A and B are shown apart, each in its own frame.
Chain A
Amino acid sequence: MNHMEFEKMLQAAVSGSHEALEQLFLLYAPLIDKHSKVDGQIDEDLRQYILIHIALNISKFVF
């Protein structure tokens, strides 16, 4: 993904696009997975909680 595509996707996600948000989740999956681990294993409930938290707060990101 080039720089322009990333900016467009981020803008769309911040504006509330579900598709763009999904793309962001895919792009940042390693970071999300890293923080979703409990005792070395991915905790699916925690992962879901993190994804919802991002979805609810992404509009607060300031360009």
Chain B
Amino acid sequence: MNHQQKSEHDELRARFTAWLETTVYRARLKYLEREKPKVNIVSIEELPESALAVSEKAAYYANPKSAFDFEEERLAEAFAKLPIKRQEILTMLFVEERKPEEIARILNCSPQHVYDQRYQALKKLRIALTKDGDKL
């Protein structure tokens, strides 16, 4: 077998392997999609009391007192444009006066992440307010 024939055979094998890999991958996805367990819908009355216990995080969201009381409409608008997670962090920091370590525990993230998010959120608010101020 000469060099050219050998490389043609290598190319065939590589092409088949790639085809097979794609075929197997698609078969797997199809199978898993079909076999995915269906979520049972249960009425709230049927749930045991233990399943209704609310987490600290859920309780926090349900508490209407934990919202900012914005005196300035522009700030409220800018705040509303922030990602939900950053809004939560700012609310917990400045309304509830929680420590970053405590917030990190509630949100399941690192304290450094809370500091970063606070920095980014305040930066965005500052930019938004400066822009709006310029326009007025």
Contact = CB atoms under 8 A, between A and B. Distances in A.
Interface of A: 3-4, 6-7, 10, 28, 31-32, 35-36, 38, 45-46, 49-50, 53-54, 57, 61, 63
Contacts, number: 53
Contacts of B10: 3
Nearest to B8: A3
Contact of A50 (B12, B16, B27, B35): B27
A31 B28 CA distance: 12
Given A35-B25, A54-B20, A63 B12 contact: yes
What bracket does the count of chain B residues touching chain A fall in? Answer: 20 to 34
Q: Please classify the interface of chain B as helix (H, G, I), strand (E, B), loop, or mixed, using the class held by over half of its residues.
A: helix
Interface in B80-109: none
Q: Please classify the interface of chain A as helix (H, G, I), strand (E, B), loop, or mixed, using the class held by over half of its residues.
A: helix
Given A10-B16, A31-B17, 7 more contacts: A4-B1, A4-B9, A6-B12, A7-B12, A28-B17, A31-B20, A46-B31
Nearest to B1: A3
Contacts of B5: 3
Contacts of A57: 23
